[in-house]
């Protein structure tokens, strides 16, 4: 249920009341506890390591803080080629080793119950926050730079991609059994500019990882990019809810594993309606292998019993829809 699966749980909120967000991320015992909560409480069939995509730019020398009500803030922002000197090339084992420790601790704690999924942001999405200095509405600094000096922005993306690659590799070596890359802001670009600007850095981040563990790419608002995304060296393409799954399947083909597609707001409906929504999703995804999931993160007001109803419906109605060759 995306990487925010546990953040609406009372058990997570109890921990969050005692520790700030970055302390949770950087303390392996706490991060491992949060990672396991959705497995223990909801019964999901994979654990996604608890961390944040902005730990990568922090490791590159940018100050990161989370202001209550304002989201992440990165200082100083990087908004031109001249600003690239602000960034360092970190030793990820030293600067991000706490995430690797979390992965290893989760593997030990969960044993063979469920697989552990590592994750990172794509270079483009990480750059979106780094250039804007945090969350944004228009992304005018990022998009302005992409038109004004695309070669300069490409150098920033390449720098992020190098660190992201090392970070993903470190998660594999720590025990991650799959990796998911989140491209929350890939949909800001038209197909040609995605191909020439964002895609090379994404491919560099994934270089040499294909075949080691299954790779999952998630894009939000990227339906117009499907002809490009179907060529990625990945095992699973995770999609949002804006395009019906059977329409996605028609563009992607029958062999590609798809994931997601249920609107997170569907879990605000009564459990009987959640079950109907899952059954409809299974039917729409019947044209090929499909992992039932949400199309974006859990909404914070989702009732726990509704999340449980979603998991139960997925397990009840989803298993028979998977072709034998894809199991």
Q: Which residues are catalytic?
A: 3, 7, 16, 52, 129
Taking CA 322 as the corner, what is the angle to CA 320 and CA 324, rounded to the nearest 5 degrees?
Answer: 100
CA–CA separation, 255 and 302 (whole Å): 33
> Is residue 57 within 8 Å of 160, Cβ to Cβ?
yes
CA dihedral (61, 63, 66, 69) positive or negative: negative
Residue 290, SS3 per DSSP: strand
Measured in whole angstroms, the distance separating CA 204 from the mean position of its chain's CA atoms is: 17
Measuring CA to CA, which residue among 37, 8, 36 is closest to residue 304? 8
CB atoms within 10 A of CB 147: 9
User: What letter would DSSP give residue 299?
Assistant: P
In the chain, DSSP assigns E strands to: 47-48, 63-67, 71-75, 116-121, 178-183, 215-219, 236-239, 257-260, 290-291
Q: What is the DSSP string of 7-51?
A: TTSHHHHHHHHHS-HHHHHH-HHHHHHHHHHHHHHH--S-EE---
């Amino acid at each position: 249920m995306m990487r925010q699966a546990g953040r609406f749980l009372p058990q997570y909120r109890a921990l969050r009341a005692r520790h700030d967000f970055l302390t949770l991320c950087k303390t392996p015992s706490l991060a491992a506890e949060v990672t396991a909560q959705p497995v223990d409480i909801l019964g999901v069939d994979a654990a996604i390591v608890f961390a944040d995509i902005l730990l990568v730019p922090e490791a590159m020398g940018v100050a990161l803080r989370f202001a209550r009500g304002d989201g992440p803030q990165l200082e100083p922002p990087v908004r031109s080629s001249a600003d690239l000197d602000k960034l360092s090339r970190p030793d990820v084992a030293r600067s991000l080793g706490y995430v690797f420790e979390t992965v290893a601790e989760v593997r030990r704690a969960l044993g063979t119950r469920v697989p552990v999924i590592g994750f990172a942001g794509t270079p483009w999405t990480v750059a979106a926050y780094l250039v804007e200095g945090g969350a944004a509405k228009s992304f005018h600094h990022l998009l302005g730079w992409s038109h004004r000096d695309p070669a300069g922005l490409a150098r920033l993306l390449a720098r992020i991609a190098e660190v992201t690659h090392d970070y993903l590799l470190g998660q594999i070596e720590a025990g991650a059994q799959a990796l998911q890359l989140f491209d929350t802001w890939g949909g800001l670009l038209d197909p040609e500019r995605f191909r020439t600007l964002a895609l090379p850095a994404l491919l560099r981040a994934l270089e040499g990882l294909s075949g080691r563990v299954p790779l999952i790419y998630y894009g939000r608002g990227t339906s117009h990019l499907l002809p490009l995304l179907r060529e990625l060296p990945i095992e699973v393409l995770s999609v949002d809810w804006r395009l019906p799954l059977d329409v996605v399947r028609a563009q992607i083909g029958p062999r590609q594993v798809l994931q997601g597609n249920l609107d997170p707001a569907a879990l605000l409906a009564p459990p009987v309606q959640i079950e109907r929504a899952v059954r409809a999703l299974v039917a729409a995804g019947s044209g090929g292998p499909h992992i039932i999931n949400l199309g974006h993160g859990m909404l914070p007001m989702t009732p726990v019993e509704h999340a449980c109803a979603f998991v139960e419906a997925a397990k009840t109605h989803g298993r028979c829809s998977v072709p034998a060759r894809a199991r």
